[in-house]
A and B are shown apart, each in its own frame.
Chain A
Amino acid sequence: MRVRALLAALAGVLCVAAASDPAERLADPAQEARAREIFRDVRCLVCQNESIDDSEADLARDLRLIVREQVKAGRSEGEIKAFLTERYGEFVLMTPSFSASNLLLWSGPFLVVLAGAVLLFLRLRSRAPDAELTPLEAERLRALSRDEAS
């Protein structure tokens, strides 16, 4: 029960105390949570592979400010991301788009699975899967040898 109480307490905290700098935080916890969700998918353009959620760089702070303002203004995640992409290019999003130019990126891993599955299938089919006799064949063989013996 103590575990449960503790975890319930934690859940309460999660909404109120979304981290990052308290000076930047939005007043509305729900909006703040949405903003944080978006931060994780926005790249700090001048950093080395960090999202603006992690980065302490000035540019990251500016981007956080933009995102927070737009969240506050009630714009949707899609609108905010479209705005950022328009301004900074696709590079700004951590998730590559599902577009034709990224076809190989998204499908590559699953093509490997497909190719492997086809190869495995062919390997299994290439010769009779087993040299052992089926129960029916075994029965017939036994019957035949009984005939010979008698």
Chain B
Amino acid sequence: MIAEAGAFALILALALSIAQVGLSLAGRVRRSAPLAGAGEGAALAAFGAVALAFAALMHAFVVSDFSVANVAMNSHTEKPLIYRVAGTWGSHEGSMLLWCLALTGFGAAAAGLGGGLPRGLRALTVATQGLLGTVFLAYTVFASNPLARVLTPPVEGRSLNPLLQDPALAVHPPFLYAGYVGMSVVFSFAVAALIEGRVDAAWSRWVRPWTLAAWSCLTVGITLGAFWAYYELGWGGWWFWDPVENASFMPWLIATALLHSAVVTEKRGALAGWTVFLALASFTFSMLGAFLVRSGVLTSVHAFAVDPTRGVLLLIILGVTAGLGFTLFAWRAPSFAKGGLFAPISRESALVLNNILLAAATMTVLLGTLYPLIREAMTGEAISVGPPYFGLTFTPLMVALLILVPAGPLLAWKRGDARGVVQRLWVALLAFAAVALLTALLVAPRKVLGAAGVGLGGWLVVGALTEIVERTRAFRVPAAESWRRLTGLPRGAWGMTLAHLGLGVFVMGAVFETAWKVEAAEALQVGGALDIGAYHVRLDGVRPVTGPNYDADRAEISVTKDGRAVCRVHPERRQFTVDGQTTSEVGLCYRGASHIYVVLGERRPGVGAAWLVRAYWNPWASLIFLGPAIMALGGVVSLSDRRLRLAVGRRRERAA
């Protein structure tokens, strides 16, 4: 019964989305507030209906109702509750429903919070959001219905891929989807502005909080995914340039570019066309990601196995929505005002350079992901584009960008003073030199590029702090005055500093871990040991344990240094009872920001029971995940800035 109610609610949501489009458009054309208001009401109701459908599906998963095909295919009664809940979005159909939930949720938020917007722009935004909702809900209802029943329900379900049964991965998709789909509001805003024919400072101010919210969620989502890969796949790697990782990374890069270009449009009225272009591109890349993951065109660990018809449908949705958006752009954008002038050395120029480099980086990722497909389709020859390609293209572009980052915020608008900026950045420059030199001298084996990379992280961290020091005029005015300035700093400034600081922390961790990680592997008998750096890793024993839906061999491993106990880890090798898949549960020992990472491998046949044990010393690995967390925090802090709250816009409009 509940599943039917959910299926009905899903169809109702589709009807409400169609009504949302019609009513909002009519409201705009007739300039009728009641009609536009009805459109907003429809947006809220559509969200409510999808939420009901989502709750119905979640209920089916929790109670293991195997008469629902999707539950039978992706769940199992023995699975722990958290993974039964997470199973709701663990499959293609369920994740499409999550996508629709986020899409209508953001539509409802735009309708509910858009009070400060001019009526016409607001109605068109709600209409466009409704159109996106209609398209994706229609796809979900007709081609990927997660609530469809089976005639003869099986007694037991087929379970979720054991690799995905993990706490980080349970919450990874909701964040990722909030990020992907959050860009839809930005897309709708852009379409509305193009139809209205006006992009101004106010428009950029409305776009920024939505971009920030989506960007922060996407940052968290990608980081959770990387962390999952780090400790679940058991190779000690965290980023593989896997096509699906790339699919989530492209919208992130574009959103980052958009955050920066929107500042120029807001403060200086320049780059309006480019900002709108990025706003359209960000959601286009989100949709491209959705298509790539679900179409079966990619070979990837993450790809959903889905039949090609559904992929083609998604490609059509992508082509039509993005095509309409960009056609509208080509038609209307040339009429946009060019905005303020600026000198070659100015904050505008720095932000334009940021955008050029981020666009080129996105191009790298796009080519690296799609070029093998294109070339295979055209010539029939298969090629691989792996990590070395990105090392040769993406990395130099990023290095150029990272060098620029601390300078940008210190440059004045319109015309900056290059020498002044260099003077103010001398501490950061010193930090770069000191960190790089110390790394080169102290860390063996000596790696010049690695040392320079860690130094670059120092440059970013100190450069970000320099911005705060400059704003508070610390060390130049009395401390009380500096303190007053510090507490008076807008949250937006703190947000930017945190984001740049987090980037520096990430760079330090990523470079250090990549350059100086150490691995060791031995076939160990109980009592045997291997050495990794100064650490002595001893296999004390292996015993069988029984989990809720798996049997495992659990190793008892003690780590010592100079004879003193450091920690004990318990890596496991799990054999899932339902589908026979084996996964490894990594044993992690934290030493400051560094990790000792121990994996229990297979049992070696032969005389005596020997186990393959792999150990990695991953120096500074925590920073890799801490950095993006700080960046996302920066996004949230910036989002709480008074100036970005839409209510302020509303008050201002009333006063005017």
Provide the residues of chain B in CB contact with A6, threshold 8 Å: 533-534
Knowing A108-B363, A112-B359, the reply to whether A130 touches B341 (Cβ < 8 A) is: yes
Partner of A19, one of B519, B534, B604: B519
Provide the residues of chain B in CB contact with A83, threshold 8 Å: none
Question: Would you call A29 an interface residue if the criterion is a C-beta within 8 Å of the partner chain's C-beta atoms?
Answer: no
Knowing A8-B444, A101-B375, A109-B361, the reply to whether A130 touches B414 (Cβ < 8 A) is: yes
Question: Would you call A14 an interface residue if the criterion is a C-beta within 8 Å of the partner chain's C-beta atoms?
Answer: yes
In whole angstroms, how far apart are the Cα atoms of A97 and B414 in the complex? 44
Is B300 in contact with A96, judged by CB distance below 8 angstroms? no
Interface segment, A57-65, A69-77, A116-124, A141-149? Answer: A116-124
Question: Would you call A87 an interface residue if the criterion is a C-beta within 8 Å of the partner chain's C-beta atoms?
Answer: no
Provide the residues of chain B in CB contact with A91, threshold 8 Å: 382-384
Provide the residues of chain B in CB contact with A90, threshold 8 Å: 381-384
Is B300 in contact with A124, judged by CB distance below 8 angstroms? no
Question: Would you call A94 an interface residue if the criterion is a C-beta within 8 Å of the partner chain's C-beta atoms?
Answer: yes
Contact pattern, B 236-261, Cβ under 8 Å of A = 1, otherwise 0: 01001011000000000000000000
Is A120 in contact with B356, judged by CB distance below 8 angstroms? yes
Provide the residues of chain A in CB contact with B570, threshold 8 Å: none
Provide the residues of chain A in CB contact with B518, threshold 8 Å: 10, 13-14, 17
Is B352 in contact with A14, judged by CB distance below 8 angstroms? no
Provide the residues of chain A in CB contact with B353, threshold 8 Å: 120
Contact pattern, B 498-532, Cβ under 8 Å of A = 1, otherwise 0: 00000000000000000010111111000000111
In whole angstroms, how far apart are the Cα atoms of A130 and B415 in the complex? 8
Question: Would you call B63 an interface residue if the criterion is a C-beta within 8 Å of the partner chain's C-beta atoms?
Answer: no
Is B388 in contact with A94, judged by CB distance below 8 angstroms? yes
Partner of B516, one of A10, A41, A97, A120: A10
In whole angstroms, how far apart are the Cα atoms of A51 and B414 in the complex? 49
Is A49 in contact with B532, judged by CB distance below 8 angstroms? no
Is A120 in contact with B363, judged by CB distance below 8 angstroms? no
Q: Which of B614-642 contact A (CB under 8 A)?
A: 614, 616-617
Number of interface residues of A (CB under 8 A): 57
Interface segment, B20-28, B106-114, B342-350, B539-547? Answer: B342-350
Question: Would you call A78 an interface residue if the criterion is a C-beta within 8 Å of the partner chain's C-beta atoms?
Answer: no
Chain B interface residue number, banded: 35 or more
Partner of B363, one of A3, A95, A97, A112: A112
Is A22 in contact with B521, judged by CB distance below 8 angstroms? yes
Shortest CB distance B445–A (Å):
5
Is B397 in contact with A127, judged by CB distance below 8 angstroms? no
Contact pattern, B 423-449, Cβ under 8 Å of A = 1, otherwise 0: 000000000000000000011110000
Shortest CB distance B539–A (Å):
14
In whole angstroms, how far apart are the Cα atoms of A129 and B617 in the complex? 54
Provide the residues of chain B in CB contact with A106, threshold 8 Å: 393
Provide the residues of chain B in CB contact with A128, threshold 8 Å: 341
Question: Would you call B360 an interface residue if the criterion is a C-beta within 8 Å of the partner chain's C-beta atoms?
Answer: yes
Q: Which of B145-175 contact A (CB under 8 A)?
A: none
Provide the residues of chain A in CB contact with B520, threshold 8 Å: 13, 17, 19
Question: Would you call B549 an interface residue if the criterion is a C-beta within 8 Å of the partner chain's C-beta atoms?
Answer: no
Knowing A95-B389, A112-B359, the reply to whether A17 touches B521 (Cβ < 8 A) is: yes
Point out which of B359, B360, B384 has the most chain A C-beta atoms below 10 A from its C-beta. B384
Is A13 in contact with B531, judged by CB distance below 8 angstroms? yes
Is B384 in contact with A92, judged by CB distance below 8 angstroms? yes
Question: Would you call B379 an interface residue if the criterion is a C-beta within 8 Å of the partner chain's C-beta atoms?
Answer: yes
Provide the residues of chain B in CB contact with A20, threshold 8 Å: 521
Question: Would you call A54 an interface residue if the criterion is a C-beta within 8 Å of the partner chain's C-beta atoms?
Answer: yes
Question: Would you call B387 an interface residue if the criterion is a C-beta within 8 Å of the partner chain's C-beta atoms?
Answer: yes
Is A7 in contact with B444, judged by CB distance below 8 angstroms? yes
Question: Would you call A131 an interface residue if the criterion is a C-beta within 8 Å of the partner chain's C-beta atoms?
Answer: yes
Shortest CB distance B581–A (Å):
13
Shortest CB distance B231–A (Å):
15
Question: Would you call A135 an interface residue if the criterion is a C-beta within 8 Å of the partner chain's C-beta atoms?
Answer: no
Report which B residues bind A (CB closer than 8 A): 235, 237, 240, 242-243, 299-301, 303, 338, 341-344, 349, 352-353, 355-357, 359-361, 363-364, 367-368, 371, 375, 379, 381-389, 392-394, 397, 414-415, 442-445, 516, 518-523, 530-534, 604, 612, 614, 616-617
8 nearest CB pairs, A to B: A94-B386, A116-B356, A19-B519, A17-B520, A10-B533, A95-B388, A11-B444, A112-B360
If A105-B367, A109-B361 are given as contacts, then 11 extra A-B residue pairs at C-beta distance below 8 Å, sorted by A number, are: A3-B442, A10-B533, A13-B531, A17-B518, A20-B521, A54-B235, A93-B384, A113-B397, A124-B342, A127-B341, A130-B415
Q: List 30 A-B contacts (CB under 8 A).
A: A5-B534, A7-B533, A11-B444, A13-B518, A17-B520, A17-B532, A20-B521, A22-B521, A41-B386, A41-B388, A48-B299, A49-B300, A54-B237, A90-B382, A94-B385, A94-B388, A95-B388, A101-B381, A104-B371, A105-B368, A108-B363, A109-B394, A110-B360, A112-B359, A112-B363, A113-B360, A120-B352, A124-B344, A127-B341, A130-B414
